[in-house]
Chain A
């Protein structure tokens, strides 16, 4: 079942200290997404990659960046985490745009 893998599952960082979350997939899907899910809220799309094309949501803070060095991996970089960035970060993939999205187990980020 490990088709979308996220590491680490839990990440603790300090206020203002850069942190990177990783996602990998064995599905060879073309699209990879990052969602932020705060406690008792719905997932919120931050950005996605369609192959190498990056698509940023208009309201995603500049503090959040992403990299996709190859088809299998995608990274979420938070340059200066604030207390409000504590959340579950979910990676998802789909074969092509508009197709079913499969979620990874998520990384729970705690900011101290």
Chain B
């Protein structure tokens, strides 16, 4: 099955600086890579996603890049703000025919220092 590795586990940046979180996956058949933000005690919220036919996607301060050859994808947050503090999870679709549950990375606790 799919295995997703996520780094770092904790990331502390100064407000206004950029944050980068990286993930690798193992199943070359995976074709869908979402990123979720989860605040304490709340549900995961989708912030951006990318499919394997696209190399990069941007939405305001958030961007995701995908390198399918190397099987890694990254989340970039620019001009970080205090409300960006949360746990961020990357995920990959299982890729097996008919099965599309998400395999999550272990999460990155992003701390924005004022």
Q: Which residues of A contact B (CB under 8 A)?
A: 31, 33, 41-45, 48, 50, 53, 55, 57-58, 90, 94, 97-98, 100-106
Type the 1/0 row for B1-22, where 1 means its CB is closer than 8 Å to any CB of A: 1000000000000000000000
Q: Does A90 lie within 8 Å of B106, measured CB to CB?
A: no
Q: Does A55 lie within 8 Å of B104, measured CB to CB?
A: no
Q: Does B89 lie within 8 Å of A55, measured CB to CB?
A: no
Q: Does B101 lie within 8 Å of A33, measured CB to CB?
A: yes
Residues of B within 8 A of A58 (CB): 1
Type the 1/0 row for B71-114, where 1 means its CB is closer than 8 Å to any CB of A: 00000000000000000010001000011111111110000000
B31, B46, B89, B107: which contacts A102 (Cβ < 8 A)? B46
Q: Which 4 A-B pairs have the closest CB atoms?
A: A42-B104, A45-B101, A97-B100, A103-B43
Which residue of B has the minimal Cβ distance to A97? Answer: B100
Q: Is B61 an interface residue (CB 8 A)?
A: no
Q: How far is the CA of A61 from the CA of B89 in the complex (A)?
A: 24
Q: Does B31 lie within 8 Å of A98, measured CB to CB?
A: yes
Residues of A within 8 A of B32 (CB): 98
Q: How far is the CA of A102 from the CA of B102 in the complex (A)?
A: 12
Q: Does B43 lie within 8 Å of A106, measured CB to CB?
A: yes
Q: Does A42 lie within 8 Å of B42, measured CB to CB?
A: no
Q: Does B100 lie within 8 Å of A42, measured CB to CB?
A: no
A68 CB, nearest partner CB in chain B, Å: 15
Q: List 28 A-B contacts (CB under 8 A).
A: A33-B101, A41-B107, A42-B106, A43-B102, A43-B104, A45-B101, A45-B102, A50-B98, A53-B98, A55-B99, A55-B101, A90-B43, A90-B44, A97-B98, A97-B99, A97-B100, A98-B31, A98-B32, A98-B93, A98-B100, A100-B34, A101-B34, A102-B46, A103-B36, A103-B44, A104-B43, A105-B42, A105-B43
Which residue of B has the minimal Cβ distance to A104? Answer: B43
